[in-house]
Amino acid sequence: MTRPTEKRPVDEAALDAAFAARLADMAPDTPAADTPMWLSHHWPSGYDRCAVIGGRHVCRRCLVLYPLALVTGIAISMGSWWPSGIDALVLWLFPLPGVIEFVLDNLGTIRYSPVRQMVLSAFGAVAAGVGYVAYLGDHTDPLVWRVVAAYTTVCVLAVVVGTRRRKEHSPT
């Protein structure tokens, strides 16, 4: 004769607590992603590089760069006050400090600074506005494309080299 098994009561609160503790052990300092990448451009571990707006993380660099570039582009395209002879100077020199900062930051040579990033992004934004106007005037403008190609190449290389360095020095 078999005996029916008795059902023991389950302590759901204890199970929930145990589950939460296991999750905390697996990722103790890793914040959860709460913002799409198109808005933050950073993984949760890099949310310190974002401003929080409406509960979402927004990349600080982009928060300064794109609105100011748009305003600059509109301002210089209104009327004939902008001396287009300085376009090359602005396009090459204004973003340069921001590109240097980006490279040094990605190589781990300098510490991240939100204020420095925003100030240098503002200079780059002026150049971006000038570049937008030149590009809209001629989609094949060689000056615009040389600047974009040069600075993009330098920044991508810095990310690649910096990522490799971090992987080589990570304790895995």
| Confidence grade of residue 21 (pLDDT, cut at 50, 70, 90) | low
| pLDDT over 50 (residue 129) | yes
Residue 39 lies in a domain: no
Residue 74 lies in a domain: yes
| Confidence grade of residue 15 (pLDDT, cut at 50, 70, 90) | low
Residue 28 lies in a domain: no
Residue 4 lies in a domain: no
Give the tens place of pLDDT for each residue, 58-68.
Answer: 999 999 999 99
Residue 155 lies in a domain: yes
Residue 10 lies in a domain: no
Better pLDDT: 38 or 117 = 117
User: Domain range spanning residue 117?
Assistant: 61-167
User: CA-CA distance, 73 to 95, in Å (whole number)?
Assistant: 15
Q: What is the mean pLDDT of residues 100-107?
A: 97
Residue 9 lies in a domain: no
Across the chain, mean pLDDT equals 87
Candidate from 1-10, 38-47, 152-161 with smallest mean pLDDT: 1-10
| pLDDT over 50 (residue 23) | no
Give the model's pLDDT for residue 171: 77
Q: How many domains does the chain have?
A: 1
Residue 132 lies in a domain: yes
